[in-house]
Chains A and B, each alone.
Chain A
Amino acid sequence: MSFDLATWKNQLENPKETIHQIRTGIQGGAVQGRWLAITVQNPAPFAFTTPSTAVALSRSTAGAMGQANASTGSRYVNKIRPSWHDSSLAPASPLPTVCTWALVDRLSHQGGLDGTVTTAQTTNLPTAALTRHTNGERVIAALEVFSQLGTSEVSASVSYTNSDGTSGRSGVVGLGSTNGAGRNIGRILVVPNQEGDIGVRSVESVTLSGSTGAAGNFGVVLFKPRLPIFAVQMGDDRTIDTLFDLGAQVQALEPDACLQWFITSSGGTGQAITYSVSFADG
């Protein structure tokens, strides 16, 4: 089943489900415009447990948005009402602060990697087998910081299996930093693919070129964007229609998707978001 304009409009007025949530205590302080995952700071009952052993995630995972599966056809996000503020920032003039939001399906994650170890780290690796987008095509790997790392920037070489099933592929990303961009809690550091690759099926190890100066805690997350980016001005409160307001960013969600927001850092230290997300089935 698919939509036409009439059926879409009907479900805008009568969505199959609407979820309202708040996520507070986001630890920013990172470079403005860099991606954060809101994973470990959420208030109960919406908190993710800090990842440790490798697990595949679903809509039932604590911390996920928790939407129901479609009753018929596929589920789509049709309407969003996002808002955010940062108590550490004063309203700016003339341009207020803007953050960008992206909705991802968090497929698999692990944690317990150490920012001071310079040998190949396999703790809690390889990542758990994907249960959605199982071949890894267009799946993205990132390093996520769960506990602050050190101020020395190092290269993290990530060994992975690509979407063709070829192991031993490698991508390198910077980790650790003096300005928070590579060390602060919540930072998402996308791992680039080796030349020719278009996705990651699993990650097998991570090797740092040096110590960041602090062990901290970081891990690997595999995700696939499902509703890419839109901008929200601080303090704004508006309803976004994914068809008309986001240029038809309409994508079918996989059953059991573990939905999570990635947002860009405000650069402050008191970022919090609230949102309603409505769904249509078609």
Chain B
Amino acid sequence: MAELSNVSDHLNRRTGGNNGTPEEFVWFKNPRVAGAAAAATIAGRHTSLWQYEGAPSHGAAPGGSARYPTRSTNGGIKQTNPGGSPTRQKWAVYGAVADQIGTLLVVDRIADISGLSGTVTTAQTINLTALTRYSAAATCLGNLIFVEVYTQIGATPTTLTASYVNQDGNNATTPAVAIGGTGLREAQRMIQLPLASGDTGVRGVNSVTLAGTTGTAGDFGITIVHQWGACGMPAIGVPGNPVLIGGAGKVVDCLTDACVSQIWLAGSTTSPYVTSWFAFVEA
């Protein structure tokens, strides 16, 4: 696997040398979903920016069948795949600013499904198990499972567990997580599912089960992501600019057909305007 050897190599490729084919984007995100104000965020909780309107555009709820998003899926940044030689796209520069305090997580959205009900208390089978990226025992380490709410579910708190496929290809069950009720029911809310003791990776999710009804069916789903990095914004209007070359960050391989998207870890109760930028080179 080719790597960026040093700052000079990175600079050379960013300025078109050595077939670097540089590519840069700015991504504006508005706190609006389907023409209306997005649901308020909750400090300390994850919010999906998948449906937030912006330029490039937002995405939609995936629907009731297992989906494996690619670079062409609406809602991703739609970066270009490598042209052949070099064969790897490197995510090499990143930064963001928002009008709220929070942390922006950059992820490859590798699998999703929606259409689950907040009132069904039997196992809801989803068979989200045919990952096309980060699917092997060695590469699935760091895959994360989230509940993602698309239409608000009910006000009655309950818990949820998921049956998933771990790094060894064996079925396992997540510890129960709280769902439903204020802060854990709103649209765009994401709830991270921890793994069973000893597990390190996720190769798919089989089903989810609510311990009790939340009171409202709503619409929620399961999203599997592979996190690339994070950008903290400790104050309004103060950008985060993690230096990936020569700094504390890490240059990440952008796999062919990656669906690059973002998750907001809120520091306030106001949904954010976010401006972020990305740069890629080939190596």
B11 engages A32 (CB within 8 Å) = no
- 74-92 of chain A: CB within 8 A of chain B: 74, 76
- 126-168 of chain A: CB within 8 A of chain B: 138, 140-141, 155
B54 contacts partner chain A, Cβ-Cβ < 8 Å: yes
Q: How many A-B residue pairs have CB under 8 A?
A: 161
B2 contacts partner chain A, Cβ-Cβ < 8 Å: no
Chain B residues with Cβ below 8 Å from A174 are: 32
Q: B25 — nearest CB in chain A belongs to which residue?
A: A138
B45 contacts partner chain A, Cβ-Cβ < 8 Å: no
**C-alpha spacing A247/B244, complex, angstroms:** 7
A190 engages B30 (CB within 8 Å) = yes
- 65-98 of chain B: CB within 8 A of chain A: 74-75, 78, 92-98
B7 contacts partner chain A, Cβ-Cβ < 8 Å: yes
**C-alpha spacing A231/B10, complex, angstroms:** 23
B64 contacts partner chain A, Cβ-Cβ < 8 Å: no
Q: A155, A225, A247: which contacts B245 (Cβ < 8 A)?
A: A247
Chain A residues with Cβ below 8 Å from B58 are: 192, 195
Q: How far is the CB of A262 from chain B (nearest CB, A)?
A: 9
B26 engages A3 (CB within 8 Å) = no
Q: B98 — nearest CB in chain A belongs to which residue?
A: A33
A54 contacts partner chain B, Cβ-Cβ < 8 Å: no
Instruction: Kindly list 9 other residue pairs between chains A and B, CB separation below 8 angstroms, not including A76-B15, A231-B241, A247-B242.
Output: A3-B11, A8-B11, A33-B237, A95-B235, A100-B237, A192-B30, A198-B56, A229-B277, A264-B237
Interface residues of A (CB under 8 A from B): 2-6, 8, 31-35, 74, 76, 95, 98-100, 102, 138, 140-141, 155, 171-174, 190-200, 225, 228-231, 243-244, 246-252, 264, 282
Interface residues of B (CB under 8 A from A): 6-8, 10-18, 20, 22, 24-26, 28, 30, 32, 35, 53-60, 74-75, 78, 92-99, 235-239, 241-247, 273, 275, 277, 279
